[in-house]
A and B are shown apart, each in its own frame.
Chain A
């Protein structure tokens, strides 16, 4: 398709234009104090095509990110789809109310019927009438390693997806496009597994204590030193759960009188952490540096609302790769802004650590930046390392402070030893310190796979979102009915994908998501053919529909 090339062309165009702007600035025609000011023009709020690099000088490589706007026809049809589902939902609720349809939902105990209802009725409308219909697409139980192929326990539901029963059969070797196994370290054989086995034999699986109280094992110390070295920071601290790393450490870093500037698509854990911190939160448009800069300027100039006292600190919170959009943060620009406005930067590399950069060191490595420019480097071990938990890296003072003030260091049980060992082994492999090139091979394989897979999908005419180098590949489905249909039909073809809809995405942007892994081979990745070959009336239309429309767009 010409679509991607046309995108690139557009991108190049924009770059030129912005450099012209700069020149005129030098000549004194434009007095511009902002770093990334753009000519003021009316932008449609839903327009998502911000694949325009405004400061190409900051990047060492082309930064290509594409978000096609939802075609109007598709948008209308999608809303209609939700409309129909809602009408049927009301109809069925009505029938349930009058006992025409049997209500199979769990109910309150009779003794507690006169209590204030635990849920408001509308709260569960979506779950009851929309989600339950396609619930079989999530929570599919695995019974083996979540590697490049996985074994799924086959389940059926006899009560319209309220409960599921095992059929006793197992779907073997389903191609796994859903797990965040970027570097393929989810394995039950090989050096990681061997090391973890040894450690389990020695330590057992639990810890029974917090880091402060007898839960600080030698293996934790070793791991933290390694993590710090891997990240290129002075010191690091690890935690037993990735989610909690965010939600329990941000409150230690910011508090009342601080301002947190958060990307609109930040993960729930970051949002929760920011909320628990008691700081003021302001949200900027996804990866939009103009929006961020405006907020920063306003914050410093106007100070706190009502009192107009200056803010104590500004904390910018961004993610490396956004897991639902597949986009990569514009880190060079964020760092330029952060330096200009003396803000602090909290970078969540949950998806990018290991998955990006020539050395697998995340988004900082990808852009060739200095890790010292990021104040708080956060990430998780769940994804690329095939383990669990999270870390925070940064200056020694920061880590020392967190050791004594982080909620999870003081109150939460420390990381189980086998998990710690998995991290140590996978990380040394990535760094090449095990004396092999296995890590480097995996990194290369992942980036090749990403490019290949994204190119293939584009060529076939699907609308995919995100950065060209991001291993998270969201493919747009748009309509609610397609979510279920796509997930099921793919599973029938022995491909496991993740499908997501509202509320994880905007209401009209339901999508399927593929996570490329280094464990995938070319042949595995040719599942793309599988996608094309999807037959069956509904899905065929789904795929063709998207394809046709994208062709239309491309021209």
Chain B
């Protein structure tokens, strides 16, 4: 059993090597391949899926292009496709649709007709990230052809942080003196008291305790959980 497994490993490694070496020693360019006999012509198969859209709504405008317009295929009513008469070589297969976006896939065909699909990478052309074959090409959504207009609304204007930063202090400066009558002696007293409340005063320990309590409660709430607050409360005691 062990022996068999090893053999399999060796086989896989060999195959990978072969694929890699083949990848570098590419097949002949187009015109030469075109003159080959029909015996070594192959078929690229696959299926295209647009999630959530019925096939009949989009297949009539779509088609499959292999290396530009060198080979062309059409979609069947169930979303599957086949491109016939493709000689061995390496090709970028792309589903072209004016409404949906599909990512291209590179398909390598060996001279014996072995197929392999991998991600298209134009910079590292020999990199192999395998894709399923027969191809399963899933649309990544509709094309975005249009730019968004910059619209203008009152809410946009008001919610602008700059505007808010300007408006709030303005309100405080303008409105506070009007609301609070500074001439009233009682009011002044109250304000002084509130100022003292804010200032840390050693003479008033209960206020500070109140404040810490308040803050600890607030922080524990933001921590999100009854448990936390209880534990804090316990510690306090």
A binds B: no
Interface residues, chain A, with chain B CB atoms under 8 Å away = none
